[in-house]
Chains A and B, each alone.
Chain A
Amino acid sequence: MNQLIEQLKVQIIQQLNLEDVEPQEINEDEVLFGGDLGLDSIDALELIVLLEREYGIKIKNQEEGKEVFVSVRTIAEFIDQNS
Chain B
Amino acid sequence: MQGKQVYAIADNIINSLGFSTTEVIQQIEAEQTGIYQHEIEAIYPTPFWASLVNNEQLQTQINKEFVGQSVEHYFTRLEQMFLLSIQDVLRQTNIDVKSKRVLIIIATTKGNIDLLEQANRDTWYYEKFAERLDMSYMGDVLQKYFGNPNQPLVVCNACISGVLAINIAQQLLQTEQYDHIIVTGGDLVSEFTLSGFFAFKAVCDGICKPYDQDRTGINLGEGVATVLLTTDAKLAQKYSKIRIGGGGSSNDANHISGPSRTGDGLNIAIQKAFKQAACSAQQIDYVSMHGTGTSYNDEMESKALGLANLLDKPMNSLKAYFGHTLGAAGLMETIVAMASMRKGLLFKSLGYTKHGVSQPIQVIQNTQKHKIDYCLKTASGFGGCNAALVLAKIES
Contacts and interface: CB of A to CB of B under 8 A. Distances in A.
Q: Note whether A and B form a binding pair.
A: yes
A48 B201 contact: yes
Interface residues of B, number: 7
Given A41-B258, A45-B200, 8 more contacts: A40-B255, A40-B258, A41-B255, A45-B199, A48-B201, A60-B201, A61-B201, A62-B201
A49 B199 CA distance: 8
Please report whether the interface of chain B is mostly helix, strand, loop or mixed according to DSSP: loop
Interface string A46-83: 00110000000000111000000000000000000000
Contacts of A1: none
B257 interface: yes
Contacts of B201: 45, 48, 60-62
A48 B201 CA distance: 10
A62 B201 CA distance: 8
Nearest to B200: A45
Interface of A: 40-42, 45, 48-49, 60-62
A7 B200 CA distance: 25
Please report whether the interface of chain A is mostly helix, strand, loop or mixed according to DSSP: helix
A42 B201 CA distance: 11
A60 B201 CA distance: 8
A68 to B, nearest CB: 14
Nearest to B216: A61
Interface of B: 199-201, 255-258
A39 B75 CA distance: 44
Contacts of B255: 40-41
Nearest to A44: B201
Contacts of A40: 255, 258
Contacts of B256: 42
A41 B258 CA distance: 7
15 contacts: A40-B255, A40-B258, A41-B255, A41-B257, A41-B258, A42-B256, A42-B257, A45-B199, A45-B200, A45-B201, A48-B201, A49-B199, A60-B201, A61-B201, A62-B201
Nearest to A41: B258
Contacts of A42: 256-257
Sorted nearest first, the 7 A-B pairs with minimum C-beta distance are A41-B258, A61-B201, A42-B257, A62-B201, A45-B200, A45-B201, A40-B255
Contacts of B200: 45
Contacts of B257: 41-42
Contacts of A41: 255, 257-258
A62 B216 CA distance: 11
A61 B294 CA distance: 13
A51 B201 CA distance: 15
Contacts of A62: 201
A74 B201 CA distance: 22
Contacts of B199: 45, 49
